[in-house]
Amino acid sequence: MGCIVMERDYYTMDDFSFDGKTVLLRVEFNSPMGPKGEILDDKRIRESLPTIKGLEDSKLVLLAHQSRPGKKDFTTMEEHARRLQKYVKQNVRYVDDIFGWNARSHIMNMEKGDVLMLENVRFYSEETLEQSPEAHSKTHLVKKLAPVAQIFLNDAFGASHRSQCSLVGFTPVLPSGAGRLMEKEIDSLNEALTGGGETIYVLGGAKVDDSISVTKNVLEKKIASKVLVTGVVANVFMAASGIRIGKPNMDFLEKNDYIGQIDLAKTILKAFDGKVVLPSDVAINKDGKREEINVMDLPTDYLISDIGQATILSFSDMIRHADKVIINGPSGIFENPEFSAGTNDILMAATRAKFSVIGGGHSSAAVEQLGIEDRISHVSTGGGACIDFLSGKNMPAIEALKAAKARIQK
């Protein structure tokens, strides 16, 4: 089952001619970095290749960020340009300037087929202000770069829940559209939110507040047939249902400010009776070893670190027979082989569903480790952005692209 695409309310690359044009492309190259400034995983660079290769007749100027001020991996885009060079035929030039004369003169001297990587946009203080596209369009970055470009494309889905300068500021002043990755993300996540048939959401990991927002959204809108909960999310729902999960697990919730989520989970369980499916057994970490116990035998003095085998079998069976399955967050501490069974088996089951979407950094990493990317309909590149989209929240960078199309159609 593929994505059913309606008439789009934003422009895509199919709506433009790029031949010889100067294109500003906002990409999401923010990558895990090692201590010597090396890129540890270039997945996000690879995910942008269909867009970049589709622009090989243009003069292509790349805008991107790496990390944020105060972080150890807040660094230049030089290594990212070098890594991109490995994957494309064109010469990729890096310039250590964002919108000054050095950057602009390089842009004006580009020839068709050239690729230029500008400096980390977050080196510029106005970038990280959250304000409207119109306000951002009056910043130095936009005022200096817009006159030397003809088209703006946004391919940075992973940052699309932000209203920052390089993401939204060009849309009021340049013809603007979505890159191939942005288009694919929007199509796939819209498909995940249309429901239809048996639609199963599997929510795990440790970001409880995010998962509760998604649960509420997909049940209220009758998108999900069922929400299966795993990981710390399951611990909160179990506590909400009156199960005593044990002191170490309650302490973990308290330490992470998740105690308040128990009341929210209670209201969801009450409002949507039978729609949230809890584990029937769990795996605890008993002195480094996996031990499985029935939920009826809780509380425990050990940390719950995965779902148990009976739960894995019943959840996998529901997932395999689903029309659509959306998974966000691991089922346990999957980095530890003792507690990876839940995460791995549920992801393997998703390969049998008719349509599957995997979101969140940890789940995506597990998909890559298992080597099953080609058997999943869509693996999202956006962690926070994917969750916000599935929660029904406003996505400023996507709204800016819609406004750009509406402005031109007037």
CB 382, CB 45: distance < 8 Å? no
CA–CA dist 165, 134 (Å, integer): 10
Whether 122 has a binding-site annotation, put simply, is: yes
Cβ within 8 Å of residue 287, ≥6 positions away? none
Whether 127 has a binding-site annotation, put simply, is: no
CB 329, CB 205: distance < 8 Å? yes
CA–CA dist 324, 273 (Å, integer): 21
Q: Can you read off the two tokens belonging to residue 99?
A: 């919108």
CB 235, CB 245: distance < 8 Å? yes
Whether 8 has a binding-site annotation, put simply, is: no
CA–CA dist 50, 28 (Å, integer): 13
Residue 69 CA, chain-centre distance (Å), reads 21
Element (H, E) at 320: helix 309-320
- Amino acid letter for position 279: P
Whether 360 has a binding-site annotation, put simply, is: yes
* Three-state DSSP class for residue 328: strand
Cβ within 8 Å of residue 274, ≥6 positions away? none
Whether 244 has a binding-site annotation, put simply, is: no
Cβ within 8 Å of residue 231, ≥6 positions away? 204, 205, 206, 329, 330, 331, 332
Whether 131 has a binding-site annotation, put simply, is: no
Nearest Cα residue to 226 out of 272, 189, 265:
272
Nearest Cα residue to 236 out of 252, 217, 218:
252
Whether 305 has a binding-site annotation, put simply, is: no
Give the number of other Cβ atoms within 10 Å of residue 280's Cβ.
Answer: 16
Whether 67 has a binding-site annotation, put simply, is: yes
CA–CA dist 331, 282 (Å, integer): 10
Whether 369 has a binding-site annotation, put simply, is: no
Whether 373 has a binding-site annotation, put simply, is: no
In this structure, the chain runs to a length of 410
Residue 13 φ/ψ, nearest 5 degrees: -65, -20
Nearest Cα residue to 30 out of 156, 116, 154:
156
Please enumerate, by residue number, every residue annotated as part of a binding site for substrate: 44, 65-68, 122, 162
Please enumerate, by residue number, every residue annotated as part of a binding site for ATP: 335, 360-363
Please enumerate, by residue number, every residue annotated as part of a binding site: 44, 65-68, 122, 162, 335, 360-363
